[in-house]
Amino acid sequence: MPTISSLPSSFLLLQQEGHLISSCLTTGLTELRSADVHNKGAFYAALFNLSIGFERLLKATVIIDHMLKNDLKVPTRKQLKEYGHDIQQLYRSCATIPYDEDMTLPKVDDLQPIAREILALLSDFAQTTRYHNLDALSAPPARKDPLSHFNEILESILRVDISPRSKARIGKTAKIISEAISDKTFTLMQGLDTKPLSTEQALLLPGLHQQATKHAVLYVVRLLSPVRDLISDLSRRAYGLGLSVPPFPQMQEFLEWLYDERGYVLRKRKWP
């Protein structure tokens, strides 16, 4: 029976990384589920945590695959740094790793358009746009505002995944309330796309965002699930190495909360 002192540093460090990955991803999903135009901070918190958690999950996958192919030697810091924070490139690298009877992750180009755009948003945020607000104070931004980018994704989800009936019901309620308070209300705020909002829009958007963000969570879960399956297969290969102590933990155990079932995900508000 292995003891803590007998475990290699690779096991203990990847174990710590697993806790970090799980915490970031569950926090990010929870924040995304609660985000709307009146809670913009939750969009930022979701982007920070999901981009960090996704990047580190992919890097852990790359590391374990490298160890299995190179007599348990870990990649050098230089090799890992070549990826930078490019989540799309990390994903592409992981999509070349065969697992479970030669299955691989879906290629980026084969992802659904909305899932592909979410991956691009997370990658942009991890690399540059997390500093958008501060950078834009001194120079025209080189990349898209992450909230504007998120707004485009939410609008796509509303077109593709939300029924016209649901949208009409939300719109009708917002219109009735707006008309009832129009003579005594003044609205001074902007949407995720930085455009000014009318009172009716300010009342309308939270309901639309509540519908869209739960589907955005579903897209993220469906991006993560095959990565979990890949790192699970790689982790289980440790049992076939004939070693007295494993070189890395069973990383899928840190993602045991990741259950890809549409109804369950759409109902769930807090992760794990």
pLDDT given at position 196: 97
- Burial of residue 163 (CB within 10 Å: 0-12, 13-18, 19+) is exposed
- Residues 119, 158: Cα–Cα separation, whole Å: 18
Amino acid at 8: P
- Residues 68, 196: Cα–Cα separation, whole Å: 54
Angle value at C-alpha 75, between 69 and 79, nearest 5 degrees? 125
- Residues 89, 231: Cα–Cα separation, whole Å: 17
pLDDT given at position 36: 98
Predicted TM-score of the model (pTM): 0.95
Structural contact between residues 242 and 137, judged by C-beta atoms closer than 8 angstroms: no
Q: Which two tokens stand for residue 187?
A: 């609205």
pLDDT given at position 1: 60
Element holding 208 (H helix, E strand): helix 199-236
For each of the chain's 272 residues, which pLDDT tens digit applies? 667 777 899 999 999 999 999 999 999 999 999 999 999 999 999 999 999 999 999 999 999 999 999 999 999 999 988 999 999 999 999 999 998 777 889 999 999 999 999 999 999 999 999 999 999 998 888 788 999 999 999 999 999 999 999 999 999 999 999 999 999 999 999 999 999 999 999 999 999 999 999 999 999 999 999 999 999 999 999 888 989 899 999 999 999 999 999 999 999 999 99
Angle at which helices 199-236 and 164-181 cross, to 10°: 140
Task: Tell me the torsion sign for CA atoms 172, 176, 179, 181.
Answer: negative
Dihedral Cα 184, 189, 193, 194, nearest 10 deg: 130
246 Rama class: left (phi>0) / alpha (psi -120 to 50) / beta: beta
Domain ranges of the chain: 9-129+214-267
Which residue is it, tokens 């096991």?
A: 11
Dihedral Cα 75, 232, 23, 27, nearest 10 deg: 120
Outline where DSSP puts E strands in 77-146: none
Q: 259 to each of 43, 81, 263, 265, how far by Cα in Å?
A: 22, 31, 11, 8
